[in-house]
Every structure is written in C-alpha cells, then in structure tokens.
Amino acid sequence: MPKDQRKYSDPPSLNVSTGNRGSVSPVASKSKPVIHQQPNEKVYEPGQKG
C-alpha cells in the first residue's frame, strides 16, 4: 500500500514542474524574443540542406 502512495506522489511532482516551466516559458519569450528565433533559424538551415 505504501508503494502505491509513492507512485501517486510522482505524477503530481511532474505536474508542478511543468506548471512552473509553462509560466517561465511565456515570460522568457516576451523578454527575449530574439533568442527564441536564433535557435529556430539554426535548426532550419541544416533541415533545408538535408
């Protein structure tokens, strides 16, 4: 029975981590929209060549 409770604690822990990350994602994108475009362009270059 104690093992079941431990497994239940895992899913909520991940949910909290994702929630915190989601809040930072929009804030970081608005703060530095140029940095988000830089990596996107680099990935497009090799993708088109391939």
Residue type, 24: V
The DSSP secondary-structure symbol of 21 reads H
Q: Average pLDDT in the 37-46 region?
A: 56
48 vs 40: CA distance, rounded Å:
12
> How high is the pLDDT of residue 39?
54
Q: Average pLDDT in the 1-27 region?
A: 53
Q: Average pLDDT in the 13-37 region?
A: 51
> How high is the pLDDT of residue 34?
52
> How high is the pLDDT of residue 27?
54
The DSSP secondary-structure symbol of 50 reads -
Domains of the chain: total: 1
Question: What phi and psi values does residue 18 have, to the nearest 5 degrees?
Answer: -70, -40
Q: Where does the pLDDT of residue 11 fall: very low under 50, low under 70, confident under 90, or very high at 90 and above?
A: low
pTM over 0.85: no
Find out whether 36 and 29 touch, Cβ atoms under 8 Å: yes
Segments forming the whole domain that contains residue 24: 2-49
